Amino acid sequence: MIEDVYYQRGFPDPVLESDYVLNLVRPFVPSAKEVTGVDETGGEARTYAIDSDIVLKVQRPQQLRLSTSLEKEVFFLRQLEKHDKNISVPRVLGYAKEGTLEYIVMTRMPGKAVRYSDLTEKQRESMYFELGKTLRKIHDVDKTAFVESGLFPDIDAPSDMRERLNFRFNRVLGWRLSSKRVTEDDIVEANEQAASILEKVPNAGTIVPLHANPGAEHVFVNENGTFSGIIDFGDSYISHPICDFRSTPVRDRSLMLAGYRSEKEISDNFKLIWNAAYALDSIIDVL
């Protein structure tokens, strides 16, 4: 597992002038007319909205880290387009590097992020079901080209499953402890419970290309609350499919799983790892 180390913290990070943004976009979209907004909510990238349907995504130099890559995101999106053009993700229109500037020109996902949407219970259930179906399509893409590309340094072996689950469990506990949401005694008790779960985790039956964080900030819905698609593949890596469920609250994962297995059943190995991840995250939820 790759640690998140930002190794260009001191680099300048100016917001680009509108004319310059349009000069970057027009070689790929000659009809581009105006910059309609700047989104600062992303961590590693800043996005510029152009007209109503185009996005310029720029790597923020002081946020550069090994696990994040715009080149990796472009590769992933293009592989998905080859695999199935109906998968609801942005389409890459152009990618380039200009000096220290690295950027993608892509289509804009309709609607808005789930985080900023007020969904009814029925809309939320439907959204998670469709998200699960979409993740299954993403996970079904052939991983051979991903492994051979050299763009994915974070690749688990099937035997790494226990370590991957334990790594995330301890990282989240560390966050809770540093924010004083749990005590040292809580940590000890949680680790004792986790140990008995982890020792029963089998090797992964399969590893696949993962989005990494299909959570509320990256999943979009239309104005009527229906699922629109997923954005931001810059943190992607290769591991067991269950890892793409863990950015969703435990209580909602069964809704995603229903969509995930709606067209093709999951394996017994998947079920064992699902149960282990569910139990580990439930320990954290109790805390």
pLDDT of residue 10: 66
User: Mean of the pLDDT values across residues 72-95?
Assistant: 97
Q: Is 241 within a domain?
A: yes
Q: Are 208 and 139 in contact (CB under 8 A)?
A: yes
Best CA proximity match to 20, nearest among 58, 62, 75: 58
Given CA atoms 265, 268, 273, 275 in this order, what sign does their dihedral have? positive
Residues whose CB falls within 8 Å of the CB of residue 170, separated by 6 or more in sequence, listed in order: 191
| Per-residue pLDDT, 182 | 86
| 1-23 pLDDT tens trace | 666 665 666 677 789 999 999 99
Percentage helix, strand, coil, to 5, in the chain? 45, 15, 40
Residue numbers of the domain that contains 190: 112-286
Q: What percent of the chain has pLDDT over 70?
A: 94
Question: What whole-number distance in Å separates Cα of residue 131 and Cα of residue 257?
Answer: 9
Q: Taking CA 85 as the corner, what is the angle to CA 81 and CA 88, rounded to the nearest 5 degrees?
A: 95
Out of 107, 128, 149, a domain closes at 107
Same domain for 169 and 244?
A: yes
Indicate the number of domains in the chain. Answer: 2
> For the residues 189-203, what does the mean pLDDT come to?
95
Would 267 be classed as within a structural domain? Answer: yes
Q: What is the pTM of this model?
A: 0.92
Residue at 87 is within a domain: yes
Q: Is residue 7 part of a domain?
A: no
- Cα separation, 257 vs 242, in Å, equals 10
12 located within any domain: no
Which pLDDT does position 13 carry in this prediction? 76
Q: Say whether pLDDT at 132 is over 90.
A: yes
Do 83 and 118 belong together in one domain? Answer: no
Res. 237 pLDDT band, cuts 50 70 90:
very high
Question: CB–CB of 242/171 below 8 Å?
Answer: no
Same domain, 169 and 229: yes
Q: Within a domain: residue 83?
A: yes
pLDDT more than 90, % of the chain = 79
User: Would residue 1 count as lying in a domain?
Assistant: no
Nearby residues of 240 by Cβ (< 8 Å), 6 or more positions away: 156, 161, 164, 204, 206, 207, 208, 270, 273
**Do 198 and 280 have their domain in common?**
yes
Is the pLDDT at 141 greater than 90, yes or no? yes
Domain boundary among 73, 107, 141: 107
Give CA–CA dist 46/58, Å, rounded: 5
128 plus 101 within the same structural domain: no
Ramachandran area for residue 53 (φ above 0: left; ψ -120 to 50: alpha; else beta): alpha
**Residues contacting residue 160 through CB under 8 Å, at least 6 positions apart:** 204, 239
pLDDT at 227: 98
Query: Does pLDDT of 62 surpass 60?
Result: no
